[in-house]
Amino acid sequence: MQRPLTAMAALLACATMFGPGLAAAEDLTVGMPTTPPNIVHMPVLIAQDLGLFKKEGVTVKTIALDGGVKVYRAMLAGNIDIGMTPGAVNVVGASKGAPVKIILSNTPKYEASMIVRDNIKTMADLKGKRIGIQQPGGFADINSRAVLRAAKIDPKDVNFVTIATDDVPALVADQVDTAILHVDQEMLAKSKVPGLHAIARMWELQPKTLYLVDSTTEKTIKEKAKALKAYTKAHIEAVRLIYTDKAKVLPSIIKHTGLPPDVAEKALDYMIKSCIWDANSGLAPDRVTFTGNLMEKVGNIEKGKVPKYDDVVDTTFAKEALAELGEWKGPVCPSSAM
């Protein structure tokens, strides 16, 4: 699961805890926010398994860190070349002058849901229930409170219960009434307790939030432009294969996630139907603007300090890749333009 977006104000601190960059001159090291990956994180691993990076002339190594904020810090420090990081973290970082740019967002939609037990039929039924979170201010806490706001329920009227990082066992064991899960985790939980169901989809509740992006430093952009363009193109190709050749990508998904094949296929089908991935760049300005304004509203960006689109995003590599691949217009899940 994507990890907490906590301690935004201290986002740029701790960067010095990482050493100098480790990647070879034209190779790329990509930081991922969790292990094993969720299906939403899979395009980079699909591109790796199917030789798409090799075809484009770049060698990509992936490493997993404990959450998107740690990935951002490692990338900022030069310890990795590309970070799969929360969009909000990048916007906040840009507001503080961090020399980082988003180059791609094939996962712009907020792919998470509140999954509940069968005694909860509507969001109004959340009152008095046990809300599963990992920690105050963490990923599940933030999203659970967003659902409560939508339901007009005061957080004081629910019982927050701290659970382990893996939400599924606590929900299955009836230790909590809710959990914030990715689609694949949801399907796994439902395979054990069929009455579990989604009460809120975050991509519907917050349709303009920029979720997960690929970002890199301005230094890496200058030093490894050719490799970044190759990475971007292969990554986009992998997303297009998800939409057009399920049989080709499913073995990679099963291998890396460790999910039972039937659960993996069911989750993938649902994510394709929901158009979770963007088969172009995912860098629509409205998402960046909305996320910046939201971060200002909740106090993570100082008033009047919301960065401009060009301060956050470098569209160079996506535009070059799309000039060669052509714009994706379907047949499934047409994407918005930059």
Q: What is the CATH number of the domain that holds 144?
A: 3.40.190.10
Domain assignment present for residue 282? The answer is: yes
Q: Which of 153, 172, 205 is the last residue of a domain?
A: 205
Question: Within this chain, do residues 194 and 214 fall inside the same structural domain, yes or no?
Answer: no
Q: Which domain holds residue 174?
A: 113-205
Domain assignment present for residue 73? The answer is: yes
Statement: residue 298 has pLDDT above 90: no
Report the domain count for the chain.
2
Q: HSE of 42 in the Cβ direction (CA atoms, 13 Å)?
A: 36
Which residues, at least 6 apart from 107, have a Cβ–Cβ distance to it below 8 Å? 40, 41, 43, 211, 212, 213, 276, 277, 278, 282
Q: Which of 141, 170, 205 is the last residue of a domain?
A: 205
Q: How does residue 66 score in pLDDT terms, banded at 50, 70 and 90?
A: confident
Q: Name which of 63, 21, 72, 15 is nearest 41 in CA terms.
A: 63
Domain assignment present for residue 45? The answer is: yes
Question: Within this chain, do residues 198 and 86 fall inside the same structural domain, yes or no?
Answer: no
pLDDT at 141: 87
Question: Within this chain, do residues 67 and 171 fall inside the same structural domain, yes or no?
Answer: no
Q: How does residue 159 score in pLDDT terms, banded at 50, 70 and 90?
A: very high
Question: Within this chain, do residues 26 and 74 fall inside the same structural domain, yes or no?
Answer: yes
Domain assignment present for residue 160? The answer is: yes
pLDDT at 177: 96
Question: Within this chain, do residues 48 and 137 fall inside the same structural domain, yes or no?
Answer: no
Question: Within this chain, do residues 159 and 129 fall inside the same structural domain, yes or no?
Answer: yes
Question: Within this chain, do residues 194 and 239 fall inside the same structural domain, yes or no?
Answer: no
Task: Output 322 or 2, whichever has higher pLDDT.
Answer: 322
pLDDT at 336: 67
Question: Within this chain, do residues 127 and 174 fall inside the same structural domain, yes or no?
Answer: yes
Q: 160: which strand partners?
A: 131
Question: Within this chain, do residues 100 and 222 fall inside the same structural domain, yes or no?
Answer: yes
Q: Is the pTM above the cut of 0.85?
A: yes
Question: Within this chain, do residues 138 and 180 fall inside the same structural domain, yes or no?
Answer: yes
Q: 181: which strand partners?
A: 113
Q: Which of 145, 178, 205 is the last residue of a domain?
A: 205
Q: What is the pLDDT of residues 171-216, one digit of tens each?
A: 999 999 999 999 999 999 999 999 999 999 999 999 999 999 999 9
Statement: residue 31 has pLDDT above 90: yes
Q: Name which of 85, 87, 5 is nearest 283 in CA terms.
A: 87
Distances (CA, A) of 74 to 15, 42, 166, 216: 7, 20, 24, 10
Domain assignment present for residue 336? The answer is: no
User: What is the spatial order of strands in the sheet that 100-107 belongs to?
Assistant: 60-64, 28-32, 82-86, 212-217, 100-107
Domain assignment present for residue 334? The answer is: no
Domain assignment present for residue 337? The answer is: no
User: What end-to-end distance do the CA atoms of the chain give, in Å?
Assistant: 27
Domain assignment present for residue 332? The answer is: no
Question: Within this chain, do residues 214 and 66 fall inside the same structural domain, yes or no?
Answer: yes
Statement: residue 27 has pLDDT above 70: yes
Structure tokens of 289?
């603007």
Q: In which residue are the tokens 């075809």 written?
A: 55
Question: Within this chain, do residues 220 and 103 fall inside the same structural domain, yes or no?
Answer: yes
pLDDT at 7: 46
pLDDT at 337: 66
